[in-house]
Amino acid sequence: MISRRNERTSVRAALVSGAAVLFTLPQPVFAAEEQIVELGDVVVTASRVSQQIKDAPVAIGVVSEQELDKVKARNPQEFLSRVPGINSSNFGGESELTSIRIPTHFTNPYTIMLVDGVQYSSYGSGSSSQFREINPKNIERIEVIKGPASALYGSNAIGGIINVITKEPSTTPQAKIWTELGDYQQWRTGVSGSGRADKLSFFIDANHTDTDGSREHSEVDKQSGSVKVNYTATDESLLTFKIDYITVENDSPGSIYQDDFEEDWLQSYHNFAYSKADRVAPALSYSHYLDDAEMRATFVLRDTDEESIPNYSIRQLTYGPFPRPYIGSYTENDSLDMSLQLLYSQDVSLWRSKVIVGLDTERGSKDSKTYDLAVSYNSILNKYESYTLGDLDKSYDITSEVAAPYLQLESSPWEKVRISVGARYDSARYEVEDELSSGTENAESFSKTSPKVGVTYDINANLNTYASYSKGFVVPTTSQLWTSRYDNADLDAENAENYEIGLRSSFLKKRLKLDFSVYDMTITDKIVVDNSPAPNTHYVNAGKSSQKGAEVMASYAPLDSVQLSVAYTYARNKYESYVDQGVDYSGNWQPRSPKHHLNARLVILPVDGVEVELEMDEVSSQFADDANLFEYTRPTLFNLRASYDWQNFTFWGHILNLTDKEHANYISYSASEDTMSLYPGVARTAFVGLSYSFGGAN
């Protein structure tokens, strides 16, 4: 067995001990919270500076702090499913794969994860498990911008942006301690606090998760710590230092074939596949405010160590005339990423105009090593039971550099009209040194200009509409360019073009709210897998796809104590042109692309301090393969949540998968077995929790 890497003892030990202070920021009293933001509410992700939502010509979803506190999510899928247009698949614990509007898999990063406006994953990485290395208890709210956002955020943003906005210090001393127990040996607990002294204010949090999970081989052990300190030198300036420390170990049960799923849907073929990550992420930000201008500089450092035995790497070799051995791989990645963001925003009196100009730079380095494994398979138990570490198979030293200036102009030549135009120029370069091939070096460069234009119109105080046009792109990941020693250096960036219209409204004294959008997106030079040179993986720009859809968010509160909220997605995701090894898939549905997704929540406040929520999640059928021969329909799932506030205490009880339905969160096609592979979801699981707040909470 490979010995797990020892914890770093200097900087990281100090961070953990510092984050263990027993204080926390309290949560507000429960109320029937609305998911849909008000037309006058302020968001920051759509333009990088504060603006009213009615001035943003894009589809926006917001998950509020109250909503997050209500859900108390054990994985991101629990709250992301409440936002239309998002498809999030959970793989156990906090391991997930999330995309906006575009069907995805592990190597195609179509959605960017930001933390306080800064990308949180390495440039050129995939799209899985982006939430895993975030402190779940340091989230104030989440803003979701749907559609290509490359004009502000660059590559990988063609599906959209998920911006996690972290908690701010309170003006008065506040604290809370909490704990939660659940089925399958699940335990979570945390402490944190906040306060202010003169010009200094702080927020600090530490929490721990330990669970066996409802499925075989799905244990999770995670510790998170966060510290944020604000220093207000003058009324016009703000200096912020924050640091996050995350360590997480997640077993990887993997998918199972359809016949095995139907026999025992919670089984796993694996005994030792896992992933582990340790991350330290300090950030320093300075903002200076004038009457009509804002200047901001943000520097972020991300130091991440990862090790894994991926479940998908463990298999039996299938080529050749004789029986082949069972193999796998062990991977180590040591990454250091540095980001610097500069922004200047200037208000202009003419037509209520605003000019936003900025520069994003990033430099990343990663030392990646992969070792061969000889795997022992027990055919009676149908388990991969043990392994022996083999030779070093791959060793890459990867460097990435990005520089991207951008410009955005906003203006209102007429009182009810707001026009926004902008563009960003991205220049990205990869340098890869193959340390096993006498230091052989490869380099690839990509450059792209991404424009956008949008307009909003206030029909009246309760009704707002918008239209927009935008372009975006996705550069190939380093794994797509250099995979299994096969040269994919001819890959080009994928390109997206999007048209969108939307409507936002609020009626009946805000008791009835509606947010509606329709979009039409085309992706060209789509990167797909050409399996002809097996066993090596060859990626090619061989596809064109169309993404068309409609998204609805609605809420209605007929009484002060009753609220119904609905999130509905209609998505038509098809290949316009795609031919692989002589097989034409043009016109077929893209895998993992259900046409309909409906999430509905009924919230009732029967007595003072008590809130009960029943959630229903319905997904229509979807295909697992490009040929559309294997189809899966997930059963309807229900979740029940209840909470009670009494003085400084909050009690809660949740039941996930209330009717205990056997279901899969993710499906794919296994060509070697000519069958569908399914990644099981969570069995019925009950949780109970208790928190106590100090100093003005509840």
**Which tokens belong to 439?**
């230091």
Q: If you average pLDDT over residues 388-417, what whole number do you get?
A: 93
Q: If you average pLDDT over residues 131-140, what whole number do you get?
A: 89
* Phi then psi dihedrals of residue 331, to 5 deg: -125, 140
**Which tokens belong to 534?**
């097996």
Q: Per residue in 143-190, pLDDT tens?
A: 999 988 888 888 878 888 999 999 999 999 999 999 999 999 999 999
Confidence band for 537, pLDDT divided at 50, 70 and 90: low
Among 594, 598, 611, 604, residue whose Cα is nearest residue 637: 598
Q: If you average pLDDT over residues 44-58, what whole number do you get?
A: 87
Q: Which residues contact 447 (CB under 8 A, 6 or more apart)?
A: 425, 426, 427, 428
Query: Alpha-carbon dihedral of residues 642, 638, 689, 36, nearest 10 degrees?
Result: -60
pLDDT for the residue numbered 530 = 66
pLDDT for the residue numbered 474 = 86
Cβ burial 120-141 (10 Å sphere, 16+ → b, else e):
bbbbbbbbbbbbbbbbbbbbeb
Tell whether the model's pLDDT for residue 527 goes beyond 90: no
Tell whether the model's pLDDT for residue 16 goes beyond 50: no
3 state DSSP class of 70? helix
Alpha-carbon gap, residue 634 to 626, rounded angstroms: 19
Tell whether the model's pLDDT for residue 395 goes beyond 70: yes
Q: Which residue has the higher pLDDT, 110 or 28?
A: 110
Q: If you average pLDDT over residues 503-511, what whole number do you get?
A: 89
Alpha-carbon gap, residue 516 to 28, rounded angstroms: 29
Q: Which residue has the higher pLDDT, 74 or 359?
A: 359
Q: If you average pLDDT over residues 505-533, what whole number do you get?
A: 85
Alpha-carbon gap, residue 417 to 57, rounded angstroms: 11
Confidence band for 108, pLDDT divided at 50, 70 and 90: low
Tell whether the model's pLDDT for residue 531 goes beyond 60: no
pLDDT for the residue numbered 6 = 39
Starting at the earlier edge strand, list the strands of the sheet with 118-119.
59-63, 141-146, 160-165, 111-115, 118-119
pLDDT for the residue numbered 319 = 64
Query: Alpha-carbon dihedral of residues 220, 221, 223, 224, nearest 10 degrees?
Result: -10
3 state DSSP class of 41? coil
Q: Cβ(687)–Cβ(189) under 8 Å? A: no
Q: Cβ(129)–Cβ(96) under 8 Å? A: yes
* Phi then psi dihedrals of residue 479, to 5 deg: -70, -30
Confidence band for 579, pLDDT divided at 50, 70 and 90: confident
Q: Per residue in 309-354, pLDDT tens?
A: 999 899 888 766 677 799 999 999 999 999 999 999 999 999 999 9
pLDDT for the residue numbered 504 = 94
In order of 271, 272, 695, the CA distances from 384 in angstroms are 6, 8, 53
Q: What is the 3-state secondary structure (H, E, C) of 306-354?
A: EEEECHHHCEECCCCCCCCCEEEEEEEEEEEEEEEEEEEEEEECHHHEE
pLDDT for the residue numbered 23 = 28
Strands 315-316 and 220-231: unpaired
Q: If you average pLDDT over residues 376-394, what whole number do you get?
A: 93
Please state, for a pLDDT cut of 70, what percent of the chain lies above it. Answer: 90
Task: Please give the radius of gyration of the chain, using alpha carbons only, rounded to the nearest integer.
Answer: 25
3 state DSSP class of 45? coil
Number of helices (H) and strands (E), helices first, in the chain? 6, 40
Alpha-carbon gap, residue 149 to 304, rounded angstroms: 26
Q: If you average pLDDT over residues 572-576, what whole number do you get?
A: 94
Q: Which residues contact 170 (CB under 8 A, 6 or more apart)?
A: 25, 194, 195, 196, 201, 203, 696
3 state DSSP class of 267? coil
Confidence band for 27, pLDDT divided at 50, 70 and 90: very low
What is the Cβ-side half-sphere exposure of residue 99, based on CA atoms within 13 angstroms?
21
pLDDT for the residue numbered 289 = 92
Q: Per residue in 437-484, pLDDT tens?
A: 766 778 888 899 999 999 999 999 899 999 999 998 888 877 777 755
Tell whether the model's pLDDT for residue 57 goes beyond 80: yes
Element (H, E) at 64: none
Q: If you average pLDDT over residues 102-129, what whole number do you get?
A: 77
Q: Cβ(593)–Cβ(587) under 8 Å? A: no
Alpha helices in 397-548 (DSSP H): 478-481
Alpha helices in 47-133 (DSSP H): 65-71, 77-80
pLDDT for the residue numbered 126 = 58
In order of 172, 263, 330, the CA distances from 635 in angstroms are 47, 17, 36
Alpha-carbon gap, residue 404 to 399, rounded angstroms: 17
Alpha-carbon gap, residue 468 to 58, rounded angstroms: 7
Alpha-carbon gap, residue 131 to 32, rounded angstroms: 27
Alpha-carbon gap, residue 62 to 56, rounded angstroms: 13
Q: Which residue has the higher pLDDT, 35 or 283?
A: 283
Q: If you average pLDDT over residues 397-409, what whole number do you get?
A: 94
Alpha-carbon gap, residue 219 to 210, rounded angstroms: 8
**Which tokens belong to 364?**
């990343």
**Which tokens belong to 689?**
């929790």
pLDDT for the residue numbered 542 = 77
Q: Cβ(589)–Cβ(628) under 8 Å? A: yes
**Which tokens belong to 374?**
């000889």
Q: Is the bond leading into 680 cis (omega within 30 degrees of zero)?
A: no
pLDDT for the residue numbered 111 = 84
Among 272, 244, 217, 6, residue whose Cα is nearest residue 131: 244
pLDDT for the residue numbered 652 = 98
Alpha-carbon gap, residue 547 to 159, rounded angstroms: 10
Tell whether the model's pLDDT for residue 106 goes beyond 80: no
3 state DSSP class of 637? strand
Q: Which amino acid is at 150?
A: S
Alpha-carbon gap, residue 171 to 165, rounded angstroms: 18
Q: Around Cβ 379, how many Cβ atoms within 10 Å?
A: 6
Q: Cβ(235)–Cβ(78) under 8 Å? A: no
Tell whether the model's pLDDT for residue 491 goes beyond 90: no
Tell whether the model's pLDDT for residue 597 goes beyond 70: yes
Alpha-carbon gap, residue 168 to 175, rounded angstroms: 14
Alpha-carbon gap, residue 290 to 310, rounded angstroms: 51
Q: Which residues contact 509 (CB under 8 A, 6 or more apart)?
A: none
3 state DSSP class of 133? coil
